[in-house]
Structure 1
Amino acid sequence: MSVPFVNASVQGDLSAPPDRIFGQIPASGLDGIAFLDFAYETAGFSTHRVGGLLVGTWHGGWYGLSRTTLTFSDGPTGNEPCDERTGEAFVLRGPGYAGRTLWSGPCRGRYLAFMPAAVERMIEAPLSHLRIDSITCDLTERMTVSHLLAALGQAASGHDSAADALLVDSVALAVLRASGALSSPPSRKSAALTARQARRVRDLVAERIDAPLSLGEMAAVAGLSEGYFVRAFKGTFGVTPYQYVLRERVTLAQSLIRSGTVSLSEAALRAGFPDARRMGRTFRKMIGRSPTEATRLQRA
């Protein structure tokens, strides 16, 4: 007996619910972008119909001396010609796609699903203007996408929807380009924010440092599309919007901790981190030290 599911613009049936869900971001909280990092311990199948856009990676495990085989079939019944992969695979599915996926043993999958409005928001054009071909290929041909989805999985790990909206937006835009769904714009050496745009973005980040902030909101104050804004922002500040916001949060948290007037938990919340644990993980990733170690060295 199969189990029906709906995830953003993707719906279908599963042979059974996943045995493990490592991370999940529902579309309801992030402008029509959903993410799921899941695993099965035994063979199974899924059918799916895509209304927007679906980008995913599959990582097959081992059972005995055999590696999991992944079989992808097109068509609403899954009876159309199939593509069989051993071990790992990348998939891209556009609007109107219907198909079936079978796995012969243990496997792990990561999927990013876009509602039509989410794609249109990023490209500032109707989804019908994009020519999206269904792609199934070896994961080695799309390793950038694999790394991006793995990073998103780590951010969503252990949380229902706590991943930073700015991170999700940034990863989603990069995935669209790296997957082949959205062609990268021609290189423009002059891509940069004007002084006024840069000031307005800095002011927005300072005002909203303790609250969720999306890529769309940052692009809006600069009066730019999200795609061009990311390039212009990096051309001006030398880092991505997400890296810039993280850096500002770390700087504020260090100042608060150094003052000795707040606890680590309060410093985390006032600097825009969900909790002290997540703040500590960000500190170690960005500066190689825990918050207290970094503050102690600054005082010395």
Structure 2
Amino acid sequence: MADIVRPADVWADRDVPAETLLHHAEPEWEFRELVYGAGGSWDVVTPRLHIASHLDPLRQRLGPARAAFRTVAPSAAISAPGDHLAGAWEGAGRGQHVTVSPGFVAAAFERDMGAETVLKRHFAYQREPDTADTIIQHLLNCLSVDLLAGNPSGSVFLQTIVLAIVHHALRVPSTSVAVAPQPGGLSQRQLRIAMDLINEQLLGRPSLAEMAAALNVSTSYFCRAFRSSTGMSPHQYVIQQRVALARSLIETSTLSLSEVAQAAGFKDHSQMTATFRKALGMPPSHFRHSPRR
């Protein structure tokens, strides 16, 4: 399901090649987990919103070569599109990076992304790590864990995590994010459109942005309104529908469990089994010859 690349790769922004441990690319955003070389420098202009987390302490300097190196604790950094970043580091370490297009931000929060809307921050170079560092680190690690497992949670889960990361990277007025959906959430017509789109894309990778665009609302509003209307997130609804489809096929067809998994949008039999155990408390095989209750 996930477009994952694990062979050694280089990240061209650095003068010392970085090994790519994990890479996942969507049209509007990209995730990389890297191992940096023992030392090097960077001098880049960021084309997208860039959120990064260093997982290990590093010695780092920011700016010109005359700047002093300082020991930097594991922490997060946020850069806006067009930012010029220069510096150097000493010591090997790991990092996780998400880059997000302006289009993703516009669809998610119904606003253009400019330098003034980004909550820029450097790594803990001349500051102590704080709560924002911890939150961003945990969210980036959620992406890493899910992708390393083969993305068992599906594309909607990844999109939801990226939305949360972007929310913590932007200076978003309360009127555009914190406003709750109207009582009742989506209208019946909107809910039907959303559910039809999910069912049409059930075997692939449902897109939150496409669903929101079909209703002419922002992605963040859509997620909140969908939960208000259904009592579950879009991701939970996708899982529910896949489980229901798979159970129906198990009970009514002669398809093997591996074939059922593929037909219901799961990556493989093992992913379907894990999802069934979590959702229904029993494996798919239980339903092969059991009457529906």
CA distance change for structure 1 residues 81 and 255 in 2, over 3 Å: closer, same or farther? Answer: farther
CA distance change for structure 1 residues 164 and 295 in 2, over 3 Å: closer, same or farther? Answer: same
CA distance change for structure 1 residues 162 and 112 in 2, over 3 Å: closer, same or farther? Answer: farther
For structure 2, the 5+ residue unaligned runs are 1-8
Structure number with higher strand proportion: 1
CA-to-aligned-CA distance 1:208-235 (integer Å, 9 cap, x gap): 2212210012112323111211111111
Cα distance in structure 1, aligned partners of 2:190 and 2:70 = 48
Q: How far is 1:194 from its partner?
A: 0.8
Structure-2 residue corresponding to 1:165: 155
Q: How far is 1:70 from its partner?
A: 4.5
CA distance change for structure 1 residues 79 and 263 in 2, over 3 Å: closer, same or farther? Answer: farther
Structure-2 residue corresponding to 1:151: 142
Contact between 1:72 and 1:99, CA under 8 Å: does it hold in 2?
Answer: no
Cα distance in structure 1, aligned partners of 2:60 and 2:280 = 43
Q: How far is 1:55 from its partner?
A: 0.8
Q: How far is 1:164 from its partner?
A: 3.8
Cα distance in structure 2, aligned partners of 1:186 and 1:229 = 13
CA distance change for structure 1 residues 239 and 147 in 2, over 3 Å: closer, same or farther? Answer: farther
CA-to-aligned-CA distance 1:22-44 (integer Å, 9 cap, x gap): x3112xxx22201112334x623
* SS of match in other structure, 2:254: coil
What amino acid does structure 2 have at the position aligned with 1:186? A
Cα distance in structure 1, aligned partners of 2:10 and 2:159 = 27
Residue identity over aligned pairs, in percent, reads 26
Q: How far is 1:82 from its partner?
A: 7.1
* SS of match in other structure, 2:75: strand
Q: More deviation in 195-204 or 279-288?
A: 279-288
99, 109, 116: which one pairs with 2:95? 109
Q: How far is 1:240 from its partner?
A: 1.6
1:89 lines up with 2:89 in the alignment:
no
CA distance change for structure 1 residues 141 and 288 in 2, over 3 Å: closer, same or farther? Answer: farther
Contact between 1:198 and 1:222, CA under 8 Å: does it hold in 2?
Answer: no
Cα distance in structure 1, aligned partners of 2:238 and 2:101 = 26
Q: How far is 1:182 from its partner?
A: 4.0
- State the TM-score, normalizing by the size of structure 1: 0.77
CA-to-aligned-CA distance 1:169-218 (integer Å, 9 cap, x gap): 22221111133454552332635111111112122222322122100121
1:33 lines up with 2:29 in the alignment:
yes
What amino acid does structure 1 have at the position aligned with 2:46? V
Cα distance in structure 1, aligned partners of 2:65 and 2:264 = 49
Structure-1 residue corresponding to 2:38: 43
- State the TM-score, normalizing by the size of structure 2: 0.79
1:124 lines up with 2:110 in the alignment:
yes
Give the superposed CA RMSD.
3.2
- Mapping for residues 1-300 of structure 1, pairs under 5 Å: 5=11, 12-18=13-19, 21=21, 23-26=22-25, 30-40=26-36, 43-45=38-40, 47=42, 48-60=44-56, 68-71=57-60, 73-74=62-63, 77=64, 84-86=71-73, 88-100=74-86, 102-128=88-114, 130-136=116-122, 137=124, 138=129, 140-157=131-148, 164-183=154-173, 185-188=177-180, 190=182, 192-287=185-280, 289-292=282-285
